[in-house]
Every structure is written in structure tokens, then in C-alpha cells.
Amino acid sequence: MKAWFKNVIGVAMAVTCSSSLLFAPSAQADLFYQISGKDLTQPSYLYGTMHMLCQDDFYIDPSVTEAFAKTEQLVLEIDLTDPALAQVFQQHSAQPDAQYLRKFLNAEQHQQMNQYFVDNLGADLTQVGHLRPFILTSLLLPMQLNCQQQASYDGYFAEQAQLGGHTIAELETPLFQLDLFNQVPVAEQVNWLWDMISDPASSQAEMQKLNQLYIQGDADKLYAYTVAQPEFAEYEALLLSDRNRDWVVKLPQMMASKPSFIAVGAGHLGGDQGVVALLREAGYQVQAIKVERPTTN
């Protein structure tokens, strides 16, 4: 599965580099915003996340921590603290046709995929081959990152919300996100999974490019890279634009009820149908907050 697909959807990331680095400050201004105006008596904040990245690339600027402390509610794509979340995924993790991989892969491809799972996860397809394609992809995602420890901004903010007594609201339900995969043909999802396994170097390079753009803090370039992928054209509305518009219908009431810290995938921020542009179109003042983020020199 392509890197853009893996990072646009929160579900695959929610289910699942130790090195010496020299750091220098670099401006990062368009992954973090203050939202004010219209009917808001107190500002809310918008933060673009990466659902999974290397621990060494994880960084929270003090200005983000300060803004978070001023809010009373965390808004996520889905509530990662919901005790029922694991049960929902478990109930919907299996593909209805347990032998579906044999239908879309030839014998040689099936054997190669089987060996890849054995080599990298210690489990063959008789053990995991019944799982839905996006779950198989999520199992392999840490290897695409090429680091020993992974981190998640969404998970971090969820943990901080629990520690700080924030309420947690979700923009979508787990079942809604799961249903997004039902709207992408299984054959195509298997093809993306096969591409990832048959050409791991290319898949890893793509993932690293996506992470590099995130670390640079440029939401517009991140969005442009995402939508430039040939496979994305047919699913841009399904995965981004339609969801963004739905969120901007829900967010006003959430922000009006409590000052909120909104943490969603960074791919949702950029572009003329991104959350930033849509909130401004709805009459809010959305101002980028300049922060300093360490980056490799």
C-alpha cells in the first residue's frame, strides 16, 4: 500500500532511530494554528499530526504544550482512549473471504508474500492471511519507517488529555473509518500491499519522503505530494475532501462548547479543501503559530 494511503487514514495507524543527531532550529509554521473569531469566546487550536513516525523525529514545542493547557477538550479523528476501540477492530479485522489473497495473487506472489511475513513478523499467511489488507499493511508499517522505536502524535495527545482532565471528542467513529476501506476495491488494496512487499526499498523511500515533508513542517507541500500520487486521484474525495468538509460542519459546535485542541492528520490541513482553508471560509480567523522544531542539520 502506498505511503499516502497509510498516513491519510487514522485507523491503520491507531491499530498498531536510535542514532546520534545534530540539531539546528528550523521554522515550522503551518502545522499548528490558533482558531478565533466568529462566535468563539476563547481560542481553539489546530495541530497537524503524523499518525506514526520514528521516535527520534517526534517533537513537541513548548508553545504547543502551553496551548494544549489552555484548552479543555481534545478533538481527534477517533477517540483512541475508548475502551471499546480494540473490540471494534477485533470484530472487524477479518476479511469475509479468508482466502482472498489467493484470488488476487498468483502462486509465486503468494509464496513471496508469505515468506516476507515470516521473515519480518515471524508469522506466515496461514496465521495472518485472513486479516483485511489494511491491517496487514499496518503490521508492516514499522519496517517502512526503518527505526527501532515509533511514536504517534495522536497517541501522545490522547495520553496528555487523560492526564490533564480534558474531555475527548471524536470527529468520526471507528466503524466509519473502517467503512472507508470497504469503498476501495479489495483487489486494489491487495495490489498496494503487494507493491509494498515486492519493492520494499521504493515503499520505504516514499514513506521517508512523506516524513521528511512533515518534519519540515510544510502542510501544503505534504498535501501536494499526497495528491500527486497517481493512485490517489480516484480516492482524494473519499479520503480527504469529503471528510474535511464533514469535520468543518462538526467543529464549530465543539469549539463553541469548550476551547478545543484539534489534532488530525497533517494531510487534512493543506489545499483549498483543507481544514485550514475551510475554517477560514466558514468565517474563523485561523492564524499559523510559528514554532521552532529541531531538525537534522
Q: What are the angstrom distances between the C-alpha of 246 and each of 45, 119, 241, 275?
A: 18, 42, 9, 10
Q: What are the angstrom distances between the C-alpha of 42 and each of 35, 66, 231?
A: 9, 14, 41
What is the model's pLDDT at position 293? 66
What is the model's pLDDT at position 232? 72
Task: For Cα atoms 124, 130, 135, give the angle at the middle one, nearest 5 degrees.
Answer: 90
Q: For 44, what's the count of Cα atoms within 13 Å in the CB-facing half-sphere? A: 26
Q: Which DSSP helix (H) or strand (E) runs through 24?
A: strand 23-28
- What are the backbone angles phi and psi of residue 39, rounded to the nearest 5°? -100, 10
Q: What are the angstrom distances between the C-alpha of 137 and each of 52, 123, 129?
A: 13, 14, 11
**What's 253's DSSP letter?**
H
Neighbours of 169 (CB within 10 A): 18
Per-residue cell: 10: 487514522
Q: Which residues contact 230 (CB under 8 A, 6 or more apart)?
A: none
What is the model's pLDDT at position 175? 92
- What are the backbone angles phi and psi of residue 177, rounded to the nearest 5°? -65, -40
Q: For 266, what's the count of Cα atoms within 13 Å in the CB-facing half-sphere? A: 32
Cβ contact 152:13 at 8 Å: yes
Q: What are the angstrom distances between the C-alpha of 116 and each of 95, 125, 167, 204?
A: 20, 10, 42, 15
Per-residue cell: 227: 495528491
Q: What percent of the chain has pLDDT over 90?
A: 58
Spans of the chain below 70 pLDDT = 1-29, 231, 293-297
Q: For 168, what's the count of Cα atoms within 13 Å in the CB-facing half-sphere? A: 23
Place of cell 459546535: 253
Q: For 109, what's the count of Cα atoms within 13 Å in the CB-facing half-sphere? A: 16
Q: Cα 15 to chain center, whole Å?
A: 11
Place of cell 532511530: 17
What is the model's pLDDT at position 29? 40
Dist CA 263 CA 260 (whole Å): 10
pTM: 0.87
What is the model's pLDDT at position 187? 94
